[in-house]
């Protein structure tokens, strides 16, 4: 039987995996996310019928597809587990869906299309913080969500499933272009891993986004990293957290 995986396998992922294995904090996060996602967890209802579960399990076996197996038992691919453990970034606009959604312009003004859809209190909080920042470049009021992939129907189609959605502050910064170095996405993740883990340890539950060759400035393409600080988590100290993220990005003390 021909092998057919649900997702293309990430190439050259060993460097990334070794970074995680060498950090006990990261291993603990990954194990916790996996255990909390298991359908045998008493807090979860099993979404697949016995026949659907068996079909998913056998397909994963025949196709040697670890992500398909993980989706059958915990509704996460391997890289979903890593993302939702905050160990690798979310992709900008993954699966063709806009994420994060930027809702302000370069001057911090709310874009017309969102004036009736966001709470005035949330936006005003952002704007007050924004006006006090020394460096306002590429800082936006935004909405972002965490997601996983799950089986969507009896045909075992898969879909992106939203886990949590928040408004907050998005900081976008350019990084060296890994595409020119012919690095895979997994290698690019490993290249930014140290920076990301420093951000996560300093700003727990911040969403990190990453895009290969996706930022264009003055006709030059860069990789980009986005740090999304959920307003619900950082409401009282948002200005301090924004400055902390900036300091980590630029390796300032």
Per-residue pLDDT tens digits for 149-182: 877 665 567 788 899 999 999 998 877 666 566 6
Top mean pLDDT of 52-61, 190-199, 215-224 is at 190-199
Number of domains observed in the structure of the chain? 1
Neighbours of 39 (CB within 10 A): 14
Q: Is residue 1 part of a domain?
A: no
Arithmetic mean of pLDDT, 67-71:
83
Count of positions (residues) in the chain: 253
Q: Vertex 127, ends 121 and 128: CA angle to 5°?
A: 90
Q: Is residue 6 part of a domain?
A: no
The tokens describing 188, both together, are: 């690019």
Distance from the Cα of residue 40 to its chain's centroid = 25
Neighbours of 232 (CB within 10 A): 11
Q: Is residue 174 part of a domain?
A: yes
Q: What is the pLDDT of residue 154?
A: 58
* pLDDT surpassing 50 at residue 121: yes
Q: What is the pLDDT of residue 253?
A: 39
Strands (E), 35-96: 90-91
Q: Is residue 162 part of a domain?
A: yes
Range of the domain at 122: 14-249
pTM exceeds 0.85 for this model: no
If 0-12 CB within 10 Å is exposed, 13-18 middle and 19+ buried, where does residue 218 land? exposed
* pLDDT surpassing 50 at residue 1: no
Q: Is residue 210 part of a domain?
A: yes
Sign of CA dihedral 126, 127, 132, 137: positive
Residue with tokens 């979310």: 90
Half-sphere exposure of 242 (CA within 13 A, CB side): 28
Distance from the Cα of residue 211 to its chain's centroid = 11
Q: Is residue 215 part of a domain?
A: yes
Task: Share the mean pLDDT of the chain.
Answer: 81
Distance from the Cα of residue 144 to its chain's centroid = 9
* pLDDT surpassing 80 at residue 85: yes
Q: How far, in Å, CA of 159 to CA of 29, rounded? A: 24
Q: Is residue 109 part of a domain?
A: yes
* pLDDT surpassing 60 at residue 227: yes
Q: How far, in Å, CA of 201 to CA of 245, rounded? A: 11
Q: Is residue 238 part of a domain?
A: yes
Q: Are 124 and 194 in contact (CB under 8 A)?
A: no
Q: What is the pLDDT of residue 153?
A: 60
């Amino acid at each position: 039987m021909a092998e057919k995986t649900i997702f293309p396998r990430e190439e050259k992922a060993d460097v990334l995996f070794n970074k995680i294995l060498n950090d006990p904090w990261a291993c603990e996060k990954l194990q916790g996310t996996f255990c909390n996602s298991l359908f045998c967890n008493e807090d979860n209802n099993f979404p697949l019928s016995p026949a659907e579960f068996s079909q998913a399990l056998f397909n994963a076996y025949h196709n040697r597809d670890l992500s398909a197996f993980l989706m059958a038992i915990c509704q996460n691919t391997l890289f979903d587990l890593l993302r939702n453990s905050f160990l690798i970034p979310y992709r900008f606009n993954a699966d063709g869906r806009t994420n994060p959604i930027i809702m302000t312009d370069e001057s911090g003004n709310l874009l017309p299309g969102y004036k009736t859809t966001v709470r005035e209190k949330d936006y005003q909080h952002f704007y007050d913080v924004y006006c006090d920042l020394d460096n306002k470049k590429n800082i936006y009021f935004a909405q972002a969500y965490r997601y996983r992939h799950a089986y969507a129907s009896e045909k075992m189609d898969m879909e992106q499933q939203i886990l949590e959605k928040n408004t907050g502050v998005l900081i976008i910064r350019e990084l060296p272009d890994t595409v020119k170095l012919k690095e895979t996405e997994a290698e690019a993740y490993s290249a930014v891993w140290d920076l990301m883990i420093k951000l996560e340890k300093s700003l727990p539950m911040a969403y990190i986004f990453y895009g290969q060759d996706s930022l264009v400035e003055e006709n030059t393409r860069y990789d980009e990293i986005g740090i999304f600080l959920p307003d619900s988590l950082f409401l009282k100290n948002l200005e301090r957290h924004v400055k902390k993220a900036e300091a980590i990005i630029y390796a300032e003390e």
